Amino acid sequence: MGKKRAKRKPTVARSSTTKRKTQEKRKEPESFADGVLRGLILAEKSARRIARMYGTPIYRWKNGKVVAEKP
C-alpha cells in the first residue's frame, strides 16, 4: 500500500498573554507608495545584476539626457 502519514502533534492551547505578545510584534501594513518604492528599488538591483552578467550598459536619465553607464 501507500506511504503512512506522520501523526500530527496535538495542538497546544495558548494563553491570552501569548496572543498579545504576537499581536504586538505585527507591523503596520505599508502604504501603496512605500510598496511601489520598494518594488522599484528591487527592480533596479535586479537590472544591475543582469547587466553585469551580460556586460550590457544601463541607461539612466542624467542632467536632462539619457546616458549609458557601466553597472
pLDDT tens for 7-44 read 776 666 665 555 566 566 777 888 999 999 999 999 99
Would you list the domain boundaries of the chain?
A: 32-71
Please give the span between the terminal C-alpha atoms of the chain, in angstroms, as a whole number: 57
The amino acid at residue 53 is M
What does the pLDDT read at residue 55?
95
Residue-wise pLDDT tens digits, 42-53: 999 999 999 999
Candidates 39, 57, 36, 38; CA nearest to 48 is 57
